Amino acid sequence: MHFLNTKFVTFLLVFALGGTTKETKHPLHVSTTEVNINAKDKTLEISTRIFSDDFEAVLLKLYKQKTDLSSPAMKTQMDALVKKYLLTHVQVKANGKVTPLNYIGFEMDHEATNIYLEAEKVTPPKTVEVSSTVLYDLFDDQMSIVHVVKGSARKSTKILYPDKSFTARF
């Protein structure tokens, strides 16, 4: 599945589904997570992409607070919820050790929300395990597409609910 990349998958999903709006629910429940191993800076750069309507629904369900990821007036409140959610639903292990993740932020991109995390001071690992339970609180047909990139090597897979993790070996 080396041909899969985040932009291609998103394009394919939006094209196949004809786009989505809050009024039109999409029948596919999918998120993507990419871990980029930055050997020069000794960091792991993590990005997760989730359909915004699904993401707002799970935040509302779990935290019982009004959610609007696109509202500039609610940016601080949404940052706190997004951080709390992602740091409890995405975990990365480098060479078998859990790496502490720092929340960088989120941004809206059409019908999707991109969330950025980073792990610092990580010696370039030979194995990376990504565990994701994103939207498992909402859907029992959730699919997570995971990419791990180290230099020019890319390892990709899909994780289907109830499975949670993928290990890439370099």
Domain with 78, as residue range(s), is 6-17+28-165
Q: Give the pLDDT mean for 55-81.
A: 96
Q: Is residue 115 part of a domain?
A: yes
What does the pLDDT average to over 97-121? 97
- Domain count for the chain: 1
The residue with tokens 């929340």 is: 103
Tell me which residue has tokens 């629910």: 25
At residue 27 the predicted structure's pLDDT band, cuts being 50, 70 and 90, is confident
> Would residue 22 count as lying in a domain?
no
Tell me, yes or no, whether 23 lies in a domain.
no
Mean pLDDT of the chain, nearest integer? 89
**SS3 label, residue 25:** coil
What CA–CA distance (Å, rounded) separates 142 from 50? 11
The answer to the question of residue 111 being in a domain is: yes
Q: Is the dihedral of CA 134, 30, 74, 99 positive or negative?
A: positive
Asked whether residue 102 is domain-assigned, the answer is yes
pLDDT score for 25: 63
Tens of pLDDT along 41-60? Answer: 999 999 999 999 999 999 99
Residues 6+ apart with CB under 8 A from 143: 28, 29, 30, 31, 158, 159, 160, 161
In a domain, 1, yes or no: no
- pLDDT tens-digit map of 9-26: 444 444 444 444 444 566
Asked if residue 127 belongs to a domain, the reply is yes
